[in-house]
Amino acid sequence: MTNYQAHETAVIDPGCIIGEGTRIWHFSHIMSGCRIGRNCNIGQNVVVSPGVALGDGVKVQNNVSLYTGVTCGDDVFLGPGCVFTNVINPRSAVSRKQSYGETRVERGASIGANATIICGNVIGEYAFVGAGAVVTKDVLPYALVVGNPSRQTGWVSEYGHRLEFDAEGFACCSESGVLYCLTDGRVRKVRPAGV
């Protein structure tokens, strides 16, 4: 008896670890040697390759490819059709399985629809990668990046709202009321809501 739900068309290879409460939808392929946390949602037509690790509460939308070398922290959102590469210079006739690049998406980050994440990069906590962006370098925590190649255009809160910093370097999330501070090119929470 499993502690997760999988649609009858999903392919679950032996040797996976799938957490309690996770749901796996139509035509997805969960390959041997991957780890999926608790209460995740794996959409339709998703590939999760060997060695991939997903934290708890990760939402993977339809048509996402997660290749060996990808690690996602808790509460990561992966938008429809986003792709993670794992080789910088792929060639059909040259096997590069021993040189897969590692990519880490840290807690609470969101990757927009049809974005491409080039391997070897870190997407920081609560960062927001816009739809269609091509990420070719690390993304700072709380950073908003867009375009091809992606470039930072601002900062976002943990709720995903743009932060507008005042002259003293403070900004408040419009939804949560949490206060943030921008110092030395980095954002950090100053105090939680209601304090």
Question: What span, in angstroms and rounded, lies between the C-alpha atoms of 30 and 168?
Answer: 48
Mean pLDDT on 118-142: 98
CA distance 87 to 91: 9
pTM for this predicted structure: 0.94
For domain 5-156, the CATH class is: mainly beta
Domain with CATH 2.160.10.10 in the chain: 5-156
Residue 140's Cβ-side half-sphere holds a number of Cα atoms within 13 Å equal to 16
Q: How confident is the model at residue 121 (pLDDT cuts 50, 70, 90)?
A: very high
Q: Which amino acid is at 14?
A: P
Q: What is the pLDDT of residues 2-58, one digit of tens each?
A: 799 999 999 999 999 999 999 999 999 999 999 999 999 999 999 999 999 999 999
By the 8 A CB rule, do 84 and 65 touch? Answer: yes
Amino acid code (one letter) for 126: Y
Q: CA triplet 128, 126, 81: central angle to 5 degrees?
A: 45
CA 83, CA 64: separation in Å to the nearest integer?
6
Task: Check whether 128 has a pLDDT greater than 60.
Answer: yes
**Percent of the chain with pLDDT strictly greater than 90:** 91
